[in-house]
Chains A and B, each alone.
Chain A
Amino acid sequence: MGELTIICGHYGTGKTNFAINRAIDAAINGKKVTLTDMDVVNPYFTSSEYADILREKGVRVISPTFAFTNIDIPALPASMYSIFDSEDDVIIDAGGDDVGATVLGRFSGEIRERGYEMLYVTNMYRPMISDPEDSVRVLRSIEDVCGLKATAVVNNSHIKEFTDAPAITGSLRYAKEVSRLAGIPLLCSTAPRRLIGELPEDECFYPVDVYVQTVWEKEGSKW
């Protein structure tokens, strides 16, 4: 049976972009992988919106029943349960904050039984969690509602197109403090692929591509 990884965190930290990267990387490495979008609280910029790219790369995608439609009904399809019998590596992209993670609670028994990693994604440049203590408070509220414990921190500190090497290295101390206060290891810091060469070699960086974009960003325009 493959690994089950839950991606959780404050909303707007980049959970979805990280989840998409993990899924595509696993598929490229020959793994069978399922990405499960469990975000039923925020209808925009969810991983379901990127299902076409994911499927093209060989990733199986399970979406909420009404994802990417004009209605706001937080319903999950029966196929969600297939992740507990699947041999695939499974990535669960949870919704933001405690409200987004609440739905995980419904599956917590099955998740615990199968065994899981839960990665807490944090971003120093998000004002509500720019203080490590605030970030850990959000983490605890997520754990409380879903009944699952985070196993590692992922530092996804970025400021979109203004992300440069100093912005990332400047977040390492923050990330380590979040990890220390939370009592769980720092798994890695993410970095846009173009910056990997400029970053210190003695830290762990995970190269990411930017998938979560607006229509004009997709055509190369920042404004």
Chain B
Amino acid sequence: MPEKVLMKGNEALAEAAIMAGCRHFFGYPITPQTELAAHMSKRMPKVGGVYLQAESEVAAVNMVLGASAAGVRAMTSSSSPGISLKSEGLSYLAGSDLPALIVNVQRAGPGLGGIQPSQADYWQATRASGHGDFKMLVFAPSTVQEMIDLVADAFSLGDEYRMPAMILSDGLLGQMMEPVVMDDTKRTEVPERPWAVSGHGNKREHNIVNSLYIDPPNLEAILKERYEKYERIKEKEQRCEEYRTDDAEIVLVAYGASARISRSAVDAARKEGIKAGLIRPITLWPYPEKAISSRMATAKAFLCVEMSTGQMVDDVRLIVNGKRPVSFYGRTGGMIPTPAEVLNEIKKMNGGI
């Protein structure tokens, strides 16, 4: 059993990517993700990898596209405004059926917003990461240990489904320190990529990686096929963690750092005799619809907690579909909700049931 070490969220994301066989990192500095790139700049040369600080976010994401097309595991990381700049490349990656890992350590927006933590890029990650019809796998870790595990999963599922995957973190998780185990035995293999444009030596037909389709019917057919794949992913890859939900009447739904705050609030509510529980989505796309649907058996009401003005709450409302009240509590602009504030919301709801 490997021993525990103390790691910062951002450096754990970087180290986990190296453990998952990623040797190509392209990035551009921005707070609060900078330690990730800084760690890569120190570690990549030691493991025979490439760390490249590009001239811009747009350049970095397109380098990821090129590296992935050539058949290697590649990644980039940024924080909110930088992800907006990368959106063109994300769309091209999806349109070219290329796997890649994109890390967003969210900060406050819109515009330059601020450097304090936020979860206001949920819509961007799950709805509109770029132009056109496409989806990305989106993972939301809530501990530093889980960051390590989800980086490996994001790489391998991205490869399996040939699509980009995002880790949606936030400044708080990225900057905090936690004890973790870097389990080397979980080192993932980089699978063969028979579709890669890496030279064919006249021994096979050449591969094409491209997102331009001249014939509209052809493009429509490809998009339909891709959306059938998305349906299979929705069926198979939904993930969440439930906490004290068995008999929960008030079900909180929160991801990432907000889930940790909500979990404290659930414990505090239980101490006061309120039957509260928490569903913590681990995949934001595909969204854990099944878990939320089945929880309606005991739930009298849902409460979404986010560091935004209310984004993920839309998905909860779509699933609950008016059958139960869905409330929202959030702080935004770089403010972090406290467990006491969330407990207060639970109490208000409890009075109303």
Contact = CB atoms under 8 A, between A and B. Distances in A.
Interface in B1-46: 4-8, 11, 15, 31-32, 35, 42
Nearest to B4: A159
Question: Interface size class for chain B?
Answer: 35 or more
Contacts of B179: 125, 159-162
Interface residues of A, number: 28
B172 interface: yes
B15 A70 contact: no
B333 A70 contact: yes
A22 B109 CA distance: 37
Contacts of A216: 260-261, 263-264, 339
Contact of B172 (A11, A44, A71): A44
A70 B336 CA distance: 13
B277 interface: no
B341 to A, nearest CB: 10
B32 A44 contact: yes
Interface string A206-223: 000000001110011101
A160 B171 CA distance: 20
B339 A70 contact: no
A45 B115 contact: no
A72 to B, nearest CB: 5
A127 B7 contact: yes
Contacts of A189: none
Q: Which residue of B175, B182, B334 has the most chain A CB atoms within 10 A of its CB atom?
A: B175
A215 B176 contact: no
A160 B178 CA distance: 7
B292 interface: no
Contacts of A220: 264
Contact of B115 (A70, A130, A159, A162): A70
Contacts of A158: 6
A202 to B, nearest CB: 26
B159 interface: no
B35 A11 contact: yes
A106 B15 CA distance: 33
Interface in A163-200: none
A128 B11 CA distance: 10
Interface in A32-78: 42-45, 69-72
B108 interface: yes
A127 B175 contact: no
A126 interface: yes
B113 interface: yes
B114 interface: yes
A2 interface: no
B219 interface: no
Contacts of A102: none
Interface string B244-279: 000000000000000011011001100000000000
Contacts of A45: 175-176
Nearest to B259: A223
- Majority secondary structure of chain B interface residues (helix, strand, loop or mixed): mixed
Interface in A118-151: 123, 125-128, 130
B340 to A, nearest CB: 7
Contacts of A115: none
B114 A70 contact: yes
Given A43-B115, A70-B334, A221 B339 contact: yes
Contacts of B113: 70
B231 to A, nearest CB: 34
A220 B115 CA distance: 27
Contacts of A125: 4-6, 179
A123 B6 contact: yes
Given A44-B172, A71-B115, A125-B6, A219 B108 contact: no
B182 A70 contact: no
B263 A159 contact: no
B177 interface: yes
A154 B260 CA distance: 32
B140 to A, nearest CB: 15
B338 interface: yes
Contacts of B261: 215-216
A109 interface: no
B264 A43 contact: no
Contacts of B172: 44, 214
Contacts of A69: 114
Given A221-B260, A221-B267, 20 more contacts: A12-B11, A43-B31, A44-B32, A45-B175, A70-B114, A72-B31, A125-B4, A125-B6, A128-B11, A158-B6, A160-B177, A214-B260, A216-B260, A216-B263, A216-B264, A219-B268, A220-B264, A221-B264, A221-B339, A223-B263
10 contacts: A12-B8, A12-B11, A12-B177, A44-B171, A72-B115, A126-B5, A127-B7, A159-B179, A215-B338, A219-B268
Interface of B: 4-8, 11, 15, 31-32, 35, 42, 108, 113-116, 143, 171-172, 175-179, 182, 260-261, 263-264, 267-268, 333-334, 336-340
